[in-house]
Amino acid sequence: MTFVRVCGLSELEEDTPKRVELDGTPVSVVRTEGEVFAINDICSHANVSLSEGEVDDCHIECWLHGSRFDLRSGKPDALPATRPVPVYPVKIEGDDVLVSLTQES
């Protein structure tokens, strides 16, 4: 599993998603509830950036139609989205946030 640095931990504001690109894949990096999560930045319902949505209760909400995706599993908990969004493993090394594009689920 190859981990790549995507940003500094100190660059992440609590509950404020940061969009990064990793090998051409858009990824939303989210610091919340004492952890850092990485989720594909494209909603599974339409081509919308999830990093423009709000974070609450370990979920990220799509701003367009309101589906909420669990940052741990990528699964939506409300329609209209029915398919999960890929989530990726994250490692923290010092101030470095590293992500692997290997899917966790």
Does 67 contact ligand FES by CB under 6 A?
yes
**Burial state string for 16-33 with b = 16 or more CB within 10 A and e = fewer than 16:** ebbebebeeeebbbbbbe
Torsion 37-93-26-13 (CA) sign: positive
Does 62 contact ligand FES by CB under 6 A?
yes
Does 98 contact ligand FES by CB under 6 A?
no
The least CB distance from residue 91 to ligand FES, in Å, is 28
Window contacting ligand FES (CB under 6 A); options: 1-9, 28-36, 40-48, 84-92? 40-48
Name every residue whose Cβ is closer than 8 Å to that of residue 97 and which is 6 or more positions away in sequence. 5, 6, 7, 8, 9, 12, 29, 36, 90, 91
Does 99 contact ligand FES by CB under 6 A?
no
Does 80 contact ligand FES by CB under 6 A?
yes
Give me 41's structure tokens: 């930045």
Does 40 contact ligand FES by CB under 6 A?
no
Interface residues toward ligand FES, by CB under 6 A? 43, 45-46, 48, 62, 64-65, 67, 80-81
